[in-house]
Every structure is written in structure tokens, then in C-alpha cells.
Amino acid sequence: MRVLIIGSSGFVGRGVFSYISKKYEVYTADFSNPREGSFFINLMEKNTISKVLNGLSIDIIVNCSGVVENSDKANYNPSSVKNLLEVIVDDDIKLSRIITLGSAAEYGETGNGPVKENLSLKGVSKYALSKIKELEIVKDFVDKNNLPITVARLFNPIGPGMNHKQLIPSLVGQVQKIKSGSDNIIEVSRLDSKRDYVDVFDVARAIDCIIGGNPKSLIYNIGSGISTSNKTIIELIIKESDLLQEPTIIETLKDSEPLYASQASIDLIRDEFGWEPVIGLDKTIKEIIHEAKIN
């Protein structure tokens, strides 16, 4: 099996590469910060896509490229996927599977309880709308061109190497300052805010299941299936950091946040592929703390 990972230098892309490169013949293509031996590709320029796809004989594409920030830059997401799929059709590239990454942000406000893949999409942020538009493009290519596309809809992938501005690394950094004696305050939006966090290793395992299987559905939720509050995250970080003093915790938001897809239903991928997460949140946080100490 010959697999091409686009965006292998990003956080999720690195995790996917690390896992599946042990099982398959893997090629990588990147626009920025390429790994050694990676092909150059810019999904906004069709000629670079065509050059890579026609220069390799591949069976599977895993597209991990994308913009995750909530700004106009997120328009890259639908445009880049549209370009990729148009080149595949126009150049008659024969593939057994194309895997793209969706986001739990597409669901928007959902309330309590596990979120199933067939729930209507109510995301309103610029990032969420970009991923909803991307999904519409994917569905169009599936319907009109019968492309074998599967969407891995990720909840909140975490692990060593994630952006330091994201919640967990930010909290780890604040606790480190407390341990060093330079501060005694932890700031967080709300202690009662909840998210579903999944280790990037488990994300890679789920994508491997899709690569090696015969998916019956277009979309699969990839999450832990557990809703975790910011309060629990902070308690775990304090415990794993061996912080002895009691910090002052300041909530920066007065009102509770709406519940935005805070718990994935993973029944579909579990029932079809036997996949479920194996890395606990405490272990992932311990690894993130260890990385922060080294750096």
C-alpha cells in the first residue's frame, strides 16, 4: 500500500506519519516546514498538485493540510480541498481512498450528550463555516464523480508538539511559572467549559483503520467519547506537575460558554472498525508536561 500524506509537517500530520509509516510505503508532501525527502505541494496551486500526483503511483491520499485558526485564513480549507479533488478528477488519478480531516467545530452548539455524525451542522465561526463548506465540496465530488472519500471528523487532538497557544500547553506553561516562583495565578476562560480531547496517536490509529478497511460511511467522529471540563484539565496538570502550592485560579469569562460538541459519539467507528482510544488523558498531559520541561 502506497500512501501520500499531504501536510505531514503539521501536528496531526506528524502523528499520522509516525504511525502509518511503520506499516505502509509512505510519501509526504508539504508547503512549509517540509520533512526531509518531502515533496513540495501548494494546494492553492493546481500545477504543484498535478506534478506530485502524476509523479507518484499511490493508492491512498491522507490530507492533513489545513488552517485551524478562526479568521479569514480559514478560507484556505474549502479552496485547497476543491483544488486537490479537481486535479484528481481532471488528471484521472486512480485511488482506492482519499481521507480528509473534518472538525467537531462544524457541529456548533449541541448541548449535553454524545454528538452523532448525522447531527445537523450549526457551526458559526469562520473556521467552522470553512469546514462545513469543505464538506459540501467533498459531498459534491462523491455524488458527481464517485470519488472514494472518507472524512475523519476530529474533535480536539492533543499531544506533544501541539501549538503552545492551545489550552493545555498554555495551562502547562502557567503551572511551570508557578513552580518557578514567578507567579501564582492560573487564568482560564471558564472552569466549567468542556471539550472532548483525543490523543494524536489515537487519531493516527483511527486513520489507519480507515486506510486498511472498507468504510461504509462518509464521516466518522474521532474523539475520546468523554467530555472533560477545564477544571479537570487543571487538576490533572497540577497533579502531574507535582505542584505543592495552591494556585489562584481566575476565570476570564463571567458567563458560562455554550456547549460546543463537547462529547463525541464514537459508536460508528467502533462498531465498524473496532477502533476506540487507548491513550488516557492523564498520560497525554504527562507527555505534554515532559516536553515543556525539556524545552
Kind of pairing between the strands at 228-229 and 194-195: antiparallel
pLDDT(294) > 70: no
pLDDT(232) > 70: yes
**What is the C-alpha to C-alpha distance for residues 183 and 177, in angstroms, rounded to an integer?**
6
Residue type, 129: L
Q: Give how far Cα 25 sits from Cα of 2, 12, 22, 88, 213, Å.
A: 5, 19, 8, 20, 17
**What is the C-alpha to C-alpha distance for residues 159 and 161, in angstroms, rounded to an integer?**
6
**What is the C-alpha to C-alpha distance for residues 134 and 101, in angstroms, rounded to an integer?**
10
Neighbouring CB atoms inside 10 A of 289's CB total 21
The answer to whether the beta carbons of residues 162 and 105 sit under 8 Å apart is: no
pLDDT, tens only, 127-169: 999 999 999 999 999 999 999 999 999 999 999 999 999 999 9
If DSSP codes are grouped into helix, strand and coil, which group holds residue 152? strand
Residue type, 30: D
Buried b (16+ CB within 10 A) or exposed e, 104-134: bbbbbebeeebbebeeeeebeebbbbbbbbb
pLDDT on residue 35: 82
pLDDT, tens only, 47-65: 999 999 999 999 999 999 9
DSSP string, 190-249: -TT-EE-EEEHHHHHHHHHHHHHS---SSEEEES-S--EEHHHHHHHHHHHTT--SPPEE
pTM of the model: 0.96
Show the domains of the chain with their CATH numbers: 2-157+198-222 (3.40.50.720), 160-195+226-261+279-294 (3.90.25.10)
What is the arithmetic mean of pLDDT over 166-185? Answer: 93
> Any alpha helices (H) in the chain, and if so which ranges?
11-20, 46-55, 76-90, 126-145, 167-180, 200-212, 230-240, 267-273, 281-294
pLDDT(91) > 90: yes
pLDDT(196) > 80: yes
The answer to whether the beta carbons of residues 262 and 196 sit under 8 Å apart is: yes
